[in-house]
Amino acid sequence: MDKNIRWLLTEIDRWKAEGLVSPEQGDRIRQRYAQPPAPAAESVPWGLLVFATAGAIVIGLGVILLFAYNWDEIPKSGKLALVFGAVIAAHLAGARLLAKDGWQPKLGEALAALGTMFYGAGIWLVAQIYNIDEHYPNGFLFWALGALAMAWALRSVANGLLAIVLVVIWGSCEAFDFRAPQYWSILLIAGGLVPLAWQQRSALLLAAALAAIQFLLAVNIVHWGSGAHAFTASLALGVLLVAAARLTQSERPDYGHGAGVMTFFGFGAFLVCAYLLSFKGAASELLDWTRRYGPQPALASAFGWTLFAAGLAGWAWIARRSLLQKEMEVGREEWLLPIALVYCFGVGGLGARDWALLVSWSFNLMLLGLAIMWMWRGCQLSRLGPTVLGSLLLGVVVLARYFDLFQSLASRGLAFIILGIIFVAEAMFYRKMRQTRGGGA
């Protein structure tokens, strides 16, 4: 039972005892919120399942390492029988449990994940038996495709997570070891696993998928074009994710966790980018698209501009819904994101390196504005989250500029005094607003 409801039910008893509500009213409130306890047979032993899934993956890793030892004593046919037997046995046992009721299908998923781990081990073992030394990332690709197919077949988060890890390994090997980044690694996760996370309403799978996309996007685009392309594409992805989060909150409120994940990754990417651009040196490098040393700068640009277009389209949709139709609300400070996106792509597109000083000033102001607006809104609504976040952002921006020991002590001292005064004022304002709204101090 939800802990808030448990608290409420306890309070109802107290209210009835103190005569605040009549017994009938108390019972009606209780009926409204009380949830019937799940039958014992139906309850899912999540601890067992989580550990079983983790155990399946660890067993699979152990088997790979065991096979890697290369047992000379086992003949070729014995090794093949071992690997085929392990894959088939794990999948058959998993399928058997899938047909049962209750929590057992979940254990079947874990066994299917174990089967997929055995399948991966089999790829390497067959390569070992026949001395295959071809393009080794292909082994991870085929393994990932097997995990992806199993994830969709079972609508399984565990198999989905396994597929994400394998696609990341494949993409990283191609990029780092062979300098042949594969855009398919990004598309496989975006097209194959984000929809699964959405369908299953899984925040965990979505978080893993977004982290993988962000990583692969940066790695691949650095190899294709340059760090500047990777930077602007990451910024565009961040802005797109925040738009997607707001639209999800509005259109699919049942996937609130997913919107939270998107907001986290979106704002995370945006804040890192904005922070870097607040320094003149970094701004002149990171928005300079003319520094193309990779073999496929056109592909790097294509990814960047596609994300830019998708991000702007998302914000245009939000503008329509919130400004014209008044059907959704978006914090004012969040409009800074599409503005920053257009600004950065404009500067990058014009090749205006000389604007670095202006860019750094703009992003300093943008970060300050964002921090102050978060602090203000947090105080106004008596919400601790935005208040703390805004304060932290302001603190980081000020500390980053005035922590240098070689700077004037006077300017540093003044900056810290002003920062301290702002925090004190914020605390008093927060307290006042909380009292006004009827909360505690």
Note whether 81 binds other proteins by CB under 8 A.
no
Among 56, 82, 87, 110, binds other proteins (CB under 8 A): 87
Cα-based torsion angle of the residue sequence 404, 406, 412, 416 in order, rounded to the nearest 10 degrees: 30
Least distance (Å) from other proteins to the CB of residue 96? 9
In a 13 Å sphere around the CA of 296, the CA atoms on its Cβ side amount to 15
Note whether 68 binds other proteins by CB under 8 A.
yes
Nearest residue (CB) to other proteins, 145 versus 271:
145
SS (H, E, C) 276-322: HHCCHHHHHHHCCCCCCCCCCHHHHHHHHHHHHHHHHHHHHHHHHHH
Q: How far is 111 from 48, CA to CA, in rounded Å?
A: 13
Contact window for other proteins (CB under 8 A) among 97-105, 160-168, 341-349, 429-437: 97-105
Among 21, 49, 98, 328, binds other proteins (CB under 8 A): 98
Site string for other proteins, 368-387 (x = CB under 8 A): --------------------
Q: How far is 370 from 372, CA to CA, in rounded Å?
A: 6
| 152 CB-near residues (< 8 Å, 6+ apart) | 192, 196
122 to 141, contacts with other proteins by CB under 8 A? 122-136, 139
Q: Which two tokens stand for residue 192?
A: 């194959």
| 409 CB-near residues (< 8 Å, 6+ apart) | none
Among 3, 24, 69, 298, binds other proteins (CB under 8 A): 69
Least distance (Å) from other proteins to the CB of residue 93? 11
Note every long-range contact of 161-164, with CB atoms under 8 Å and residues 24 or more positions apart, other chains counting: 161/204, 161/205, 161/208, 162/57, 162/113, 162/116, 162/117, 163/192, 163/193, 164/189, 164/193, 164/205, 164/208, 164/209, 164/212
Tokens 């209750």, residue located: 102
Contact window for other proteins (CB under 8 A) among 12-20, 80-88, 376-384, 424-432: 80-88
Nearest residue (CB) to other proteins, 131 versus 325:
131
Among 15, 84, 355, 402, binds other proteins (CB under 8 A): 84
Q: How far is 264 from 327, CA to CA, in rounded Å?
A: 24
Q: Compute CA distances 72 → 78, 80, 82, 87, 250, whole Å.
A: 11, 13, 14, 22, 61
Among 21, 80, 352, 419, binds other proteins (CB under 8 A): 80
258 to 317, contacts with other proteins by CB under 8 A? 293-296
Note whether 179 binds other proteins by CB under 8 A.
yes
Note whether 91 binds other proteins by CB under 8 A.
yes
Site string for other proteins, 138-177 (x = CB under 8 A): -x--x---x--xx-xxxx----------------------
Note whether 427 binds other proteins by CB under 8 A.
no
The footprint of other proteins (CB under 8 A) covers: 64, 67-72, 80, 83-84, 87-88, 91-92, 94-95, 98-99, 105, 108, 112, 115-116, 119, 122-136, 139, 142, 146, 149-150, 152-155, 178-180, 293-296
